[in-house]
Amino acid sequence: MTAIANVAISKKGLQRLRQGFVWIFRSDLDGKTDAEPGAIVKVIDRGNNFLAYAFYSQSELALRVLTREDRLPDRAFFGRRLDEAIARRARYFPKSRDAMRVVHGEADMLPGWLVDRFGDALVVQSMSLASDQREPMLIELLIERFKPRAVVFRDDGMTREYEGLDDRKGLAHGTDARAAFHEGEIAFEIDLLADQKTGAFLDQYENHLLAAEYAKGEALDLFCYHGGFGLQMAKRAARVTCVDQSELAVSRVKANAERNGLANVTGVAANAFDLLREHEQAARRFDTIVIDPPAFAKRKSAIEAAYRGYKDLNMRAMRCLEPGGILISCSCSAKMTRDLFEEMLIDASRDAKRRMLILERRGASRDHPGLAGVPETEYLKCFVLQAVD
Ligand code: SAH
């Protein structure tokens, strides 16, 4: 076995580590290192004292901390981390829940990895060279524990470009990438290789169920993907229109509506910005509107444009609400902080000249936990608002 390389960190890096940060950037390294990209390295201070083991990357995100215990992480270590992630979720999810995020990267102390379960199939997503290199090991550990029918790897997340990694995807186990799962009582079918993300937006699972409680009358689900919000709302609303620019997504909405015997759902393939503008100009009114756009602000520099984009969308949606109508407004941009998102909503309500109540301020489902003090692990906002009059 090759020797484990040392990586020394600066005082600032040490401070970040002590605060519980799990990422150390290149600017917080102290001097040069001969560490191989992708290797597990020993993180030390200037005095040569052991601090942690970490995955090393050649990118700006140099270190992803694995453990502060002075024992080299091996296969059994990763197996234990996986067992812990599974056990945490078993405490708050019923056995009957057949879809969940099993591993949420840094928050589960398995940096660079996401694992989603959909029924008897699993999807793994890797975000760094170190996690790419050990992906076969993770898949073996998952197969031992879940005995899945299929395992798909979807190494095509946004951050790979930043790490200088090419996208790749395929079936690692089994023969069929299609999967079936439920959110509450609604049944979904997905294709783990052809659909977006890892197949579904499980981070919104609990918000989807919540939308059903608020739904009424005419409902609009903008940026609907497979109808996660819309199909839940269809149980209570008179009619639901689900809108997405992806034809494939809209075809899934239609198939899912039929599968669940929901005859009051219409799927529309259209640009949601244009459609909302048209509704506003035509003075169309809705009792319930959901907005869940893709991340506008992936980088900090784009934040002002993103703010304007969100504000415009929310302002128009507010204008289209019936008195007493509900707006469920989401943002998955990590750069759009919770405070800024709320400020934007207030700003939008002023321009829309609608008095709005904030009923709920929510985030991602519990299987996508944020690590306290590490803002990078929290990204999803989901606010529920009501028009007063
Ligand atoms: N609401 C969904 C997740 C939405 S993800 C859920 O809860 O499951 C964002 C969606 O927006 C994607 O499906 C993407 O195809 C769609 N999209 C992106 N730009 C769009 C646009 N301009 N108009 C309509 N849909 C768009």
> What pTM value is reported for the model?
0.95
388: three-class secondary structure by DSSP: coil
**CA distances in angstroms from 198 to 99, 117, 326, listed in the order given:** 12, 10, 29
Longest dimension (CA), the chain: 70
Q: Does residue 150 line the site of ligand 1, with CB under 6 A?
A: no
| pLDDT tens-digit map of 243-290 | 999 999 999 999 999 999 999 999 999 999 999 999 999 999 999 999
| pLDDT score of 300 more than 70 | no
| pLDDT score of 313 more than 70 | yes
Q: Where in the chain is the domain with CATH 3.40.50.150?
A: 201-387
Which top CATH class is 6-67? mainly beta
| pLDDT score of 299 more than 80 | no
Asked if residues 344 and 314 have their Cβ atoms less than 8 Å apart, the reply is yes
Residue nearest to ligand 1 atom 12, measured at CA: 225
Q: Does residue 204 line the site of ligand 1, with CB under 6 A?
A: yes
Which top CATH class is 201-387? alpha beta
Asked if residues 150 and 177 have their Cβ atoms less than 8 Å apart, the reply is yes
Residue 335: predicted pLDDT: 87
| pLDDT tens-digit map of 221-251 | 999 999 999 999 999 999 999 999 999 999 9
Q: Topology of 75-181 in CATH?
A: Transcription Regulator spoIIAA (3.30.750)
| pLDDT tens-digit map of 14-34 | 999 998 889 999 999 998 899
For the chain, the average pLDDT equals 96
Q: Which of 204, 221, 225 to mutate to test the pocket of ligand 1 (most atoms within 8 A of CB)?
A: 225
Interatomic CA distance for residues 304 and 279, integer angstroms: 26
| pLDDT score of 1 more than 60 | no
Q: Name the band, by pLDDT with cuts 50, 70 and 90, for residue 2.
A: low
| C-beta contacts of 93-97 below 8 A and 24+ residues apart | 93/366, 93/367
| pLDDT score of 71 more than 80 | yes
Residue 233: predicted pLDDT: 98
| High-pLDDT (> 90) share of the chain, % | 92
| pLDDT tens-digit map of 186-196 | 999 999 999 99
Q: Name the band, by pLDDT with cuts 50, 70 and 90, for residue 377.
A: confident
The whole-number average pLDDT for the span 317-345 is 96
Interatomic CA distance for residues 7 and 252, integer angstroms: 48
Q: Which of 224, 320, 330, 332 is catalytic?
A: 332
Q: Name the band, by pLDDT with cuts 50, 70 and 90, for residue 293.
A: very high
- Catalytic status, residue 224: no
Amino acid at 288: T
221 Cα nearest atom in ligand 1 = 1
Q: Where in the chain is the domain with CATH 3.30.750.80?
A: 75-181
| pLDDT score of 298 more than 70 | no
| pLDDT tens-digit map of 123-166 | 999 999 999 999 999 999 999 999 999 999 999 998 899 999 99
Q: Does residue 296 line the site of ligand 1, with CB under 6 A?
A: no
The whole-number average pLDDT for the span 292-304 is 82
Q: Name the band, by pLDDT with cuts 50, 70 and 90, for residue 372.
A: confident
Interatomic CA distance for residues 374 and 165, integer angstroms: 24
Residue 70: predicted pLDDT: 96
CA 365 to ligand 1 centroid distance, Å? 19
Q: Does residue 224 line the site of ligand 1, with CB under 6 A?
A: yes
Neighbours of 77 (CB within 10 A): 16
Residue 297: predicted pLDDT: 67
Interatomic CA distance for residues 367 and 365, integer angstroms: 6
